[in-house]
A and B are shown apart, each in its own frame.
Chain A
Amino acid sequence: MNGADATAINTVEEKRSLKDIIAFILSELKPRGKMLTPFNVISGLTIVLGAFLILYRLAKGLGAVTNLSQDFPWGIWIGFDVMVGVAFAGGAYVLTFVAYVLRTDKYHSIIRATVLNGLLAYVFYAGAIFLDLGRWWNITNPLFGNKFGANSVLFLIAWHFLLYMLAEFVEFSPTIAEWLGLRKVRKFLGSLTIGAVVVGIALSTLHQAGLGALFMMAKGKIHPLWYTEFIPVLFFVSSIFAGLSMVIFEGSISHKVFSDKIDHKDHAAYNGILIGLSRGCAVAMFVYFFAQTLIFIHGWHWSLLNTPMGYWYLTEMIGLVAIPCFLFFRGARYGNIPLIRIAAILTMIGIIINRLNISIIAFKWWIPLSERYIPSWMEIVITLAIIFTEIWVFRWIVTRMPVFEGSPAWAEEKH
């Protein structure tokens, strides 16, 4: 069951020299398919504009491009690109747990795409962090040197991001080896998978929670309905259903766009996969909702509910957590695929709102709107450019490497 245009590489037995491999990769760089689709044009223009804005930002400083201020040091590059992006990438550690640790065959057909998305998400959101750093030339200081602020949550996050990218890369590397036709390498890399998965899950637990722990010292700046010492736990639990929702969302798109790469068995099994993911989301959101309720009761801030921020809090908790949880629940029980997709989108909006609330909206909530941080169009364009570039890279990889189609026969894995 080889990929649609498997080149001779997959069946060639002889040893491939480095020159052959480089030549092959260079030949693969040529674009395929229609160039001037609406998506290509819009995303392409955004990427080009974004590139110019990035150069401008590097040359002139953050103030020239962003609306960050002394009151609001973190904006959408942190609050959205990093916080939301990393939450959405949580599908990788959840599904690798299910597929490799628990040895469930059910999700086998989507695991590679999910790991690839996780890897790309972290690489690109590390890029977003790089852009957000005021003194970006010092970015290696937490990694090399003799002045490690090891008591900083951000220090741990930096290291975890780096190690996690490596783990994801190791998990994805068998696909690359198959693409390049390197059999011995492929075999070796396959043996590393379970180790990388296990380390990846431990790292993910910590940095998902860690992104929340960043705000522990912002006590007094974050509205009491959102500030709790349990933010790290909440971030971790929400990353589970955020990731799975993203898998549902992105998978639905990929299944349409790349449907010629997916064999019919995987197409047929897809509904079953969606129902399984829906179950996972429903359970995780049930737990999360009750955890939030418990935290609310612990804080006992009843009087705050009857304020504008209180209504906003209820909107997030009821409208964007409890309701999608129920929709996932019903979708799983009745096999209602459209309902599951709606639930996934609502959940993703809820995660975006939640992360933005903690980092920007409920942050110094007393400051009037006229003095608050609202992202500049340049920040938004750069964010979009990063996302589009990630999609382009994803597309490039998926159309050439065996991500959706099965492994070539010589690499069939025994589970």
Chain B
Amino acid sequence: MEGFTYVDIFATKGVEYLLVIAALLLFIPFWRMVSRPATAVYEAAESIIPAISEWFHLPERLYYHQGHSWALPEQGDLVRVGIDDFAQKLVGKIDAIQLPPVGSQVTQGEKGWSLRAGSKTIDMLSPVDGKVVGINEGLLKSPENIGKDPYDKSWLLEVQAPKISANLKNLLSGGLARKWMEGVRESLLARMNYNLGAVSQDGGVPVDGIARNVDHEHWDEIVKEFLLTS
């Protein structure tokens, strides 16, 4: 038949196999690159992440509740209680603290006290069971001081906890606490969703709190999520 070009249509030419190999080889770096954020972004995030874990100080001797409150056993069955660095940096400037009155009972895992920032009120969970025998009056008067030293001078309550050993078993400390904090850090980064504007380039923490810079309107919902009081 005239005008008929012979192409062996069923033969897979050698060059096709070469193309397949080339495609597969190219696919490997493609896959790797598409699965992670770009180096620039990653490095920016990474440079801030160590900063984040440095921000969130976790003194060794404290016991932490997953709602970001801490307990420091003192003599006998007395326990000092406060909020951790993460909680404070998340919420930012605190306008007022509402503490339970002396003599009242607190229960581990239930509402212990609340913080007020702007128009929103955030509850926090108590890390121990017991009777409140002391509150930090100085802090009540100047709640803005809580940021300066959330662990030492900014304690919230003094609690007499008869079941202190049982309570401490439910809390995190040492290596476990570190692991937990890393998980929290990952969650926060995921929440921030590439919106690295929530933290400044030099790694500083915004004064009005990280939460407000992640979601200005619903920042209290974010906080309650992390503090387990939503």
- A contacts B directly (C-beta below 8 A): yes
- On A, residues with C-beta under 8 Å from B are 264-265, 267-269, 271-272, 275, 279, 282-283, 286-287, 290, 293-294, 297-298, 300, 329, 332-335
A264 to chain B: which residues have CB within 8 Å? Answer: 215, 217-218, 221
User: Given that A265-B221, A268-B215, A334-B38 are known contacts, is A297 also in contact with B13, CB under 8 Å in the complex?
Assistant: yes
Task: Specify which of A268, A283, A332, A333 is in contact with B191 (CB 8 Å cutoff).
Answer: A268
Task: Specify which of A269, A297, A334 is in contact with B16 (CB 8 Å cutoff).
Answer: A297
CA distance in complex: A267, B38 (Å): 23
A286 to chain B: which residues have CB within 8 Å? Answer: 27, 30
User: Given that A286-B30, A298-B13, A300-B7 are known contacts, is A293 also in contact with B215, CB under 8 Å in the complex?
Assistant: no
A300 to chain B: which residues have CB within 8 Å? Answer: 7, 13
Q: Please provide the chain B residues from 184 to 230 with a CB less than 8 Å away from any CB of chain A in the complex.
A: 190-191, 193-195, 214-215, 217-218, 221-222, 225
Task: Specify which of A283, A290, A298, A334 is in contact with B23 (CB 8 Å cutoff).
Answer: A290
B41-57 toward A: CB 8 Å interface, digit per residue (1/0)? 10000000000000000
Q: Are B34 and A332 in contact (CB under 8 A)?
A: yes
Min CB distance, B49 to chain A, in Å? 16
Q: Are A298 and B16 in contact (CB under 8 A)?
A: yes
Q: Are A335 and B19 in contact (CB under 8 A)?
A: no
18 cross-chain CB contacts under 8 A: A264-B217, A268-B193, A268-B215, A271-B193, A271-B194, A271-B195, A272-B193, A283-B30, A283-B31, A290-B19, A290-B23, A294-B20, A297-B16, A298-B12, A298-B13, A333-B34, A334-B38, A335-B41
CA distance in complex: A244, B115 (Å): 43
**Interface residue SS majority, chain B:** helix
Q: Are A329 and B191 in contact (CB under 8 A)?
A: no
B225 to chain A: which residues have CB within 8 Å? Answer: 265
In the complex, the chain B residue whose C-beta lies closest to that of A278 is B34
B7 to chain A: which residues have CB within 8 Å? Answer: 300
In the complex, the chain A residue whose C-beta lies closest to that of B190 is A272
- Whether B33 sits at the interface, judged by CB under 8 Å, is yes
A298 to chain B: which residues have CB within 8 Å? Answer: 12-13, 16
Q: Are B214 and A268 in contact (CB under 8 A)?
A: yes
Q: Are B19 and A297 in contact (CB under 8 A)?
A: yes
- The total of chain B residues at the interface (CB under 8 A) is 31
- Whether B75 sits at the interface, judged by CB under 8 Å, is no
Q: Are A334 and B40 in contact (CB under 8 A)?
A: yes
B34-78 toward A: CB 8 Å interface, digit per residue (1/0)? 111110110000000000000000000000000000000000000
Min CB distance, A105 to chain B, in Å? 12
CA distance in complex: A286, B23 (Å): 9
B30 to chain A: which residues have CB within 8 Å? Answer: 282-283, 286, 329
Min CB distance, A284 to chain B, in Å? 11
In the complex, the chain B residue whose C-beta lies closest to that of A269 is B193
Q: Are B37 and A334 in contact (CB under 8 A)?
A: yes
- Whether B15 sits at the interface, judged by CB under 8 Å, is yes
Most buried by A among B12, B34, B191, B195: B34
Min CB distance, A237 to chain B, in Å? 13
CA distance in complex: A300, B9 (Å): 10
Min CB distance, A317 to chain B, in Å? 15
A282 to chain B: which residues have CB within 8 Å? Answer: 30, 34
- 5 shortest interchain CB distances as A-B pairs: A335-B194, A264-B218, A333-B38, A290-B23, A271-B193
B100-121 toward A: CB 8 Å interface, digit per residue (1/0)? 0000000000000000000000
Task: Specify which of B35, B37, B217 is in contact with A335 (CB 8 Å cutoff).
Answer: B37
Q: Please provide the chain B residues from 132 to 150 with a CB less than 8 Å away from any CB of chain A in the complex.
A: none
B35 to chain A: which residues have CB within 8 Å? Answer: 279
Q: Are A333 and B19 in contact (CB under 8 A)?
A: no
A279 to chain B: which residues have CB within 8 Å? Answer: 34-35
A286-B30, A335-B37 are known; give 19 further A-B pairs, CB within 8 A.
A264-B221, A265-B221, A268-B214, A268-B215, A271-B193, A271-B194, A271-B195, A282-B34, A283-B31, A294-B16, A294-B19, A297-B15, A297-B16, A298-B12, A329-B30, A329-B34, A332-B34, A333-B41, A335-B193
B221 to chain A: which residues have CB within 8 Å? Answer: 264-265
